[in-house]
Amino acid sequence: MGDRLSIGFDLGGTQVRAALVAGGGVRRRAAVLTDVAGGPNSVVGQFRALAAKICEGIDFDHIGAIGIAAPGPMDTETGVVDHIPTLPGWNEFPLRQRLAEEFQRPTIVENDGIAAAYGEWKHGAGKGLDHLVYVTVSTGIGGGVVVDGRLMHGRRGMAGHVGHFQIAPDGPVCSCGAVGCFEAFAAGTALGKRAHMAATGDPSGYLGSKASSEKIVSRHVVDGARLHDAECLALLREEAEYLGVGFTGLIHLFSPQRLIMGGGVAKAFDLMSDDIHAVIRRNAMAPFKDIPVVVAALGDDCGLVGAAALALAAVEPTDR
């Protein structure tokens, strides 16, 4: 069954990506900048064009199913978008139905964090496990959870919004409007803001000198840390502390065998791993202190691969 073809789409606020997937591997890929201003009807056209590109020379009858990973919160039981903060104008858009009509293939939609968790579980760093938590740390924080050998969906398919539990009674305002969420402290955006403040406070330092020509973001901290800049190393230690606190909470909640970290900030995982594990050893209850945090194996592909694999699993229940 592993070699059947399916298509995975990843709908993001910046890019729409598509991949032709077989056996958990990406065979072909294509991407385009999301036509945010054009709204959902225009983006459906982008899906169509991307599919044509990656399926060139292939009989479309060989595509078993189509899966779309989209940002949430989204009701994946109905396949109707509630609203997507990064994509205005999508309220109440029947995404699954429209794409099923467009492609005439079995189609599923999945929250991007849950799709990525499934990708890592079936084809990445969580292969063979029964219990795992996947956390993506990039602009925001999202994720998905596998418990007892099952992908957790919750009411309306919205489980796994791991970025929005509060880790402090006050603190920075989160993208969701609340205060003190894990995401508000530990997402790449939050790290970028702290780096910007550090640059302003020390114009002659590594970050300060970069700030004269470009906007300081989390990537600059990682670059500086690799050059052994003390300020950037300190910012990453602070970031690792927040990540460790959030991860400890998730480990207590779900008792995973492994916590998998993906997203842009995971590119600095090697620099933060020791500090993250030190926080878990310090804060977690005794039976949880040894839970390993590992970096995602599929990188940026986990949502694409996960959505494509989930779509096939939905039409081949024995493969689930």
Contacting residues toward Zn ion, per CB under 5 A: 164, 174, 176, 178, 181
The least CB distance from residue 95 to Zn ion, in Å, is 23
Return phi, psi of residue 107, to 5°. Answer: -135, 135
The least CB distance from residue 186 to Zn ion, in Å, is 11
The least CB distance from residue 107 to Zn ion, in Å, is 30
Q: Which is nearer to Zn ion, 123 or 164 (CB)?
A: 164
Q: Which is nearer to Zn ion, 164 or 277 (CB)?
A: 164
Q: Which is nearer to Zn ion, 40 or 246 (CB)?
A: 246
The least CB distance from residue 234 to Zn ion, in Å, is 26
Q: Which is nearer to Zn ion, 164 or 194 (CB)?
A: 164
The least CB distance from residue 182 to Zn ion, in Å, is 8
CA atoms within 13 A on the CB side of 134: 35
Q: Which is nearer to Zn ion, 177 or 317 (CB)?
A: 177
CA 79 to chain centre: 19
* Strands, E assignment, the chain: 5-11, 15-22, 25-33, 63-70, 74-75, 80-81, 107-111, 132-137, 141-147, 150-151, 258-262, 293-295
Q: Which residues contact 314 (CB under 8 A, 6 or more apart)?
A: 65, 106, 108
- Packing angle of the helix pair 112-123, 302-315 (nearest 10 deg): 80
Q: Which is nearer to Zn ion, 121 or 182 (CB)?
A: 182
- Packing angle of the helix pair 230-254, 218-226 (nearest 10 deg): 120
Contact (CB, 8 A) for 117 and 134: yes
The least CB distance from residue 181 to Zn ion, in Å, is 3
